[in-house]
Amino acid sequence: MSVVVPDILSPEFAADPYGLYASFREDFPVLLHEPTGAYITSRYEDVSRVLSEPEFSARCYGRFLGAVVGGRVILELEGREHTAHRRLVNPAVHGAGLKRIEGEIEEIERSLLSKFIARGSVDLVREFGDEFPIEVIMRLLALPVADGEQIRRWYTSNVRFASNISGDPDVTAEAMEAGAAFQAYLRERIAERRSSDGDDLLSMLLSADLEGERMPEEEILAFCGLLLTAGGETAGKAFANMVRHLLEHPDQLEAVKADRSLIERAIAETLRFTPPNVILQREPLIDVTLSNGAQIPRDSTIMCLVGAANRDPRHFTDPDSFEINREDLAFRQAFAGGANHVAFGAGRHFCLGAHLARAMLSIGMNLILDNLEDLRFADGWQPVERGIVTRGLESLKLEFTPRAMVR
């Protein structure tokens, strides 16, 4: 009996990729996907290697993101140049810089919560998960609150473009128009900041020393565009996924309520179980060999199925079960380069905003647990996920007992 070749562009994959991951891993661990011309790899061993080892480059992101965000993105940089750019941005999203913004994150998320807490019901995707990451990024860049609606429109266009692996020309045209508008907007903000001495991330990028030179304006534009596109979408999707999984596992939810230190375990297990980034891409700089002796020529595109790798039974026990106390997930390293899940990538391109995402999700979950009593799925709600490159819930309709907000 012949085995059906799974397809990432098929309706079946769009409806339920988890059901096809085993077929990718077991029958087609390295598959040339003819519609895109890319090689798809799905086993943890291969995905981890492709994402972390130096013979694989992330320069492919520059070709399709660069025109939309205005310049070279940090993802496509390598070597000393990449290291210098990461060192420049790190202080804003790690350590003392992150600590400084945690109060603002709580303020943003508390404000969103206050809009529906007395109602007793909420679509947590639309009214919370889609909102707080964009507002946090706007606060990081010190962009005016009044500009929020147009920034959300630009963000939506960029997100659709980043997931456009089928090459829909209308999606591309819309993103190019939105990208040009966002770049023009940022150039005005940059002109205003050059004469100021602010402590926001945009001002920091303008004043930073990059190996004896200022960071080029085009690269500042590109970084801000990438931050808005990648950072906004993934955090919101991960948050909704975490709440859903905990509600589906009441014993684990009760454990988290009783011991809030388990929230970080819940975040890490959510990232392993249902990562918001389903596909990450790389290019080999040399001819390489992966599982089953598969030969991949240099300069090819490799699509890494992160969701399949994170559920590989060769690496995780009972991988299709959500378990915040699993022993084979390195929780202490889950938000750093030593992570043994690949939701944040791996190696030198490990997600720069991992600790920021952890803070946003942890603060939000604490607020939910403090303020929404008897939290439950709304009658008739069914989980529907959308997305091929990034994936998350279309909605998360919840009900709870109304109460006054805990201060």
User: Structure pTM?
Assistant: 0.93
Helix, strand, coil share (%) of the chain residues, nearest 5: 55, 10, 35
User: Residue 184, Cβ neighbours under 10 Å: how many?
Assistant: 11
The continuous run of DSSP H or E covering 238 comes out as: helix 232-248
Burial class (CB in 10 A: 0-12, 13-18, 19+), 304: buried
Token duo for residue 301: 């595109």
Q: Which residue, 63, 51, 89, 59, is CA-closest to 76? A: 59
CA distance 153 to 232: 12
| pLDDT string in tens for the chain (407-residue length) | 467 889 999 999 999 999 899 999 999 999 999 999 999 999 999 999 999 999 999 888 777 676 677 667 777 778 888 787 787 777 777 787 788 889 999 999 999 999 999 999 999 999 999 999 989 989 888 898 888 888 888 888 877 777 777 778 888 888 888 888 888 898 998 888 887 777 788 888 888 766 667 778 888 888 888 787 777 778 999 999 999 999 999 999 999 999 999 999 999 999 999 999 999 999 999 999 998 889 999 999 999 999 999 999 999 999 999 999 999 999 999 998 889 999 999 988 888 889 999 999 999 999 999 999 999 999 999 999 998 888 999 999 999 997 767 66
Cβ contacts of 307 within 8 Å, gap of 6 or more: 17, 18, 21, 274, 275, 278, 391
Could you tell me the sign of the dihedral formed by the alpha carbons of 280, 236, 344, 96, in that order?
positive
Q: List the beta bridge partners of residue 30.
A: 41
| 213 neighbors 146 (Cβ within 8 angstroms) | no
| DSSP secondary structure of 40-97 | EE-SHHHHHHHHHSTTEE-THHHHHHHHHHTS--GGG--HHHHHHHHHHHHHHHSHHH
Residue 41: strand pairing partners: 30, 304
Per-residue pLDDT, 64:
67
CA distance 132 to 115: 13
Residue 133 Cα distances to 57, 263, 284, angstroms:
28, 18, 33
What is the model's pLDDT at position 66? 67
Under a CB-based contact definition with an 8 Å cutoff, are residues 29 and 42 in contact? Answer: yes
